[in-house]
Structure 1
Amino acid sequence: MQNLGFALIDPHIHQWDPYNTPHVASLAVKLLGKHPFLLDKIVRLVKSKDLIETVGLTTHITRPYLPQDYKQDIGQYAVEQVVHVEASWADSKGKGVVAETQFIESLPFGTNTVQLGGIVATADPTDSNFKKILALHQKASSRLRGIRRMAAHHEDKGIHAWANDPHLYTNKKFLKGFEQIVRHHLSFDAWVYSTQLEDVIALAKRFPETSIVLDHLGTPAGLFGKVGQTTGLTQTARENIFYHWQDAIAELATYPNVYTKMSGLFMPVLGHQFHKKKQQASKQQIIDLVAPLITHALDSFGRYRVMFASNFPMDRVSTSLVNIIDALSDIVHDYDDETLQRVFHHNAKQFYRL
């Protein structure tokens, strides 16, 4: 769909600058940024194999990604506003994470690029200073709308773990800290692999008054091909991943405080091989691959609790943002003629109070 007929809201983009902020690749970028081939070699040497395989390539994470870059990626599509979601700020201990919120507020969002509508920051609910850190985030930006603490952790050791605790969302200290998210009237972005969806269900059940959004449809690692050591190795294994994901999504959707983002579906951890073939997934390839996931999410959550999000630049490794919007808008439009504007605009605006 080349013309949505309205300006969309993108409630999940990442912004970073390895040259000027704490970033996992800052030192390598500063030393070798003008030599991309050497930079790629060094990053692959110093970073773990599971991390490299999960993100696919290194080029899109070692380059700055700023408002003008997103503006270029969006092509002909009109965007009303975006939400920045925390992006693994390297100074992640205690109050250090507040600097990311300050950094985002300093960027040149506006009429020449894109409007910033909200910020989803990070903080550790198990930190004894969690309440104070939330207050500092709110002081740093009136656009603070929520918190994300990534919990993605897979039983396959070859798949990168984004949290040390395999069941972070059921950890007693985490749950105690989570009460501060409720008191500060913030939403929560949950990111897990599909094998952990039961933990999100438990969290939603425990805090029914808190708006929770499941990022990236729960990231069914290995759904489209082998990842890690053994995940998605056979067709039967991939079918089982899908069936488990279907059941867990349907159960999660029974909790009215939970939404989901149809995003992150072209990260290599799902088993895509486009980056290895130096290809970009076409619009039709995107439709063929992810239509069953999107229609099931819509069947489960309904038209009021699913929102489009780009996850850029993380999905850039497999395809373009224009291709993603073209394909996903066609899928949603075919599903239900009235759903398109809700999924690409209204639901994000309502969830994040934009």
Structure 2
Amino acid sequence: MTDTTTTARETAIEPEMPIIDAHHHLIDRPGRRYLFDEYLADVSAGHNIRATVYIESQAMCRADGPEALRPVGETEFVVGIAAMSESGNYGPCRVNAGIVGHADLALGDAVAETLDAHIVAGGGRFRGIRQVALSHPSPEPFRYVLNPPPKDLLHSDRFREGFAQLGPRGLSFEATVFHTQLSDIAALADAFPETVIVLDHLGFAIAMGLSQSERHAVFADWSQALRELARRPNVMAKIGGFGLPFWGFGFDQNEIKPDSDTLLRAWSPYIETGIDAFGLDRCMMESNFPVDAMSCDYVTLWNALKKATRALGAEDRHKLFFENAARIYRLDVAG
């Protein structure tokens, strides 16, 4: 197995600032290992990461039993790590304080059994469901998707039947889509106004392999669609995921990874647009590690996000880096 723990190029700036990492994964696959020890090394490398929210990667699913219940094995796995973290023997960070698991909402009403099993297995930590819904006419983006979704998932009547099971259980939905699908998320938010939807990675403004003029056009389309989606008060936004190739920044291709000032120059227009669209009360900062390690290390990533928000006051930054995630995911952590 390959150790994907990153080595920091920089020293953490503003190391006292409390942070909830609102989006990370743990992975153990052939050639890729990033589990508790690897993540702990990153969260302990200089930034004040107080707690984290685990987002499904379909890791450690059950090998047998009913197909619909196999994803519950992942929740059982990450709860064990959360218990280890809560012992205090591994430092102050409460890893996996909140958990978002996987379920196939296209099962319709039958997904209720999966959701209830997740809630029981979560031991009070289970907060929502992510079912990746990325859709694109080109196969190229799916080289970077661990578990490609069914085609046209969001347009399935059965998906909406399953989605309807979330709200009554107090569960949110994590929307992982490209910017060309943001109108689909808006329609979903309108149909289920009482269910919280969290937009992951600001809805990827996908610009892989495009010219500069084409990138400008994508930015304009993304910005307009993002602002329209943000009119729905039940939609929250995570700011991050910029390390993935979808954005077209190209840092994943660099042998020498960029410093935080370089990341800042590329990322800041998207960060500023996201905060302006959703406001200071509906945005959360995320690492998306280990996936974003394709482009940078953990310390440098958070340095760039901190630099991007330096114009804001301390109270507003506390919302973005800690308070909003604690509220939205109902985390009982001190910051």
TM superposition score normalised by structure 2:
0.86
- How far apart are the structure 1 equivalents of 2:313 and 2:177? 28
Q: Does 1:241 align with 2:218?
A: yes
Pairing 1:56-71 to 2, within 5 Å after superposition? 62-71=31-40
2:6 alignment partner in structure 1: none
2:114 alignment partner in structure 1: 133
Q: Does 1:212 align with 2:194?
A: no
- How far apart are the structure 2 equivalents of 1:152 and 1:290? 21
- Of residues 120, 129, 142, the one that matches 1:147 is 129
Point out the more displaced range, 338-347 or 168-177.
Answer: 168-177
- How far apart are the structure 2 equivalents of 1:158 and 1:204? 29
Shift of 1:278: 1.0
Secondary structure of residue in 1 paired with 2:206: coil
Provide Cα deviations, 1:251-271, integer angstroms capped at 9, x if missing partner: 011111111001111112222
Q: Is the 8 A contact 1:98 1:136 kept in 2?
A: yes
Amino acid at match of 1:169: L
- How far apart are the structure 2 equivalents of 1:322 and 1:297? 22
Q: Is the 8 A contact 1:333 1:339 kept in 2?
A: no
Shift of 1:175: 0.6
Pairing 1:37-52 to 2, within 5 Å after superposition? none
| Structure 2 unmatched runs, 5+ | 1-11
Provide Cα deviations, 1:158-192, integer angstroms capped at 9, x if missing partner: 221732223x2232111111111011111111010
Provide Cα deviations, 1:198-240, integer angstroms capped at 9, x if missing partner: 1111111111111111000101121xx51xxxxx2x2221111
2:186 alignment partner in structure 1: 201
- Of residues 51, 62, 86, the one that matches 2:56 is 86
- Of residues 149, 152, 170, the one that matches 1:163 is 149
Q: Does 1:101 align with 2:75?
A: yes
- How far apart are the structure 2 equivalents of 1:80 and 1:67? 15
- How far apart are the structure 1 equivalents of 2:23 and 2:260? 21
Shift of 1:337: 4.7
Secondary structure of residue in 1 paired with 2:166: helix
Secondary structure of residue in 2 paired with 1:159: helix
Shift of 1:90: 7.4
Q: Does 1:296 align with 2:273?
A: yes
- Of residues 22, 27, 50, the one that matches 1:11 is 22
Across the aligned residues of Structure 1 and Structure 2, the Cα RMSD in angstroms comes to 1.8
Shift of 1:71: 2.1
- How far apart are the structure 2 equivalents of 1:12 and 1:165? 25
2:3 alignment partner in structure 1: none
- Of residues 36, 39, 47, the one that matches 1:77 is 47
- Of residues 115, 119, 124, the one that matches 2:99 is 119
- How far apart are the structure 2 equivalents of 1:327 and 1:334? 13
Secondary structure of residue in 2 paired with 1:188: strand
Is the alpha carbon distance of 1:219 and 1:104 closer, same or farther for their aligned partners in structure 2, counting shifts above 3 Å?
A: same
- How far apart are the structure 1 equivalents of 2:227 and 2:251? 30
Provide Cα deviations, 1:80-112, integer angstroms capped at 9, x if missing partner: 111110013475941110000011112232431
Secondary structure of residue in 2 paired with 1:64: strand
Amino acid at match of 1:117: A
Secondary structure of residue in 2 paired with 1:176: helix
Amino acid at match of 1:251: E
Q: Is the 8 A contact 1:220 1:270 kept in 2?
A: yes
Q: Percentage identity across aligned positions?
A: 32
- How far apart are the structure 1 equivalents of 2:15 and 2:275? 19
Shift of 1:76: 0.8
Amino acid at match of 1:187: S
| Structure 1 unmatched runs, 5+ | 19-28, 30-61, 227-231
TM superposition score normalised by structure 1:
0.81
Q: Is the 8 A contact 1:295 1:335 kept in 2?
A: no
- How far apart are the structure 2 equivalents of 1:89 and 1:247? 35
Pairing 1:168-187 to 2, within 5 Å after superposition? 168-187=153-172
Q: Is the 8 A contact 2:16 2:47 kept in 1?
A: no
- How far apart are the structure 2 equivalents of 1:156 and 1:240? 18
Shift of 1:336: 4.6
- How far apart are the structure 1 equivalents of 2:97 and 2:310? 25
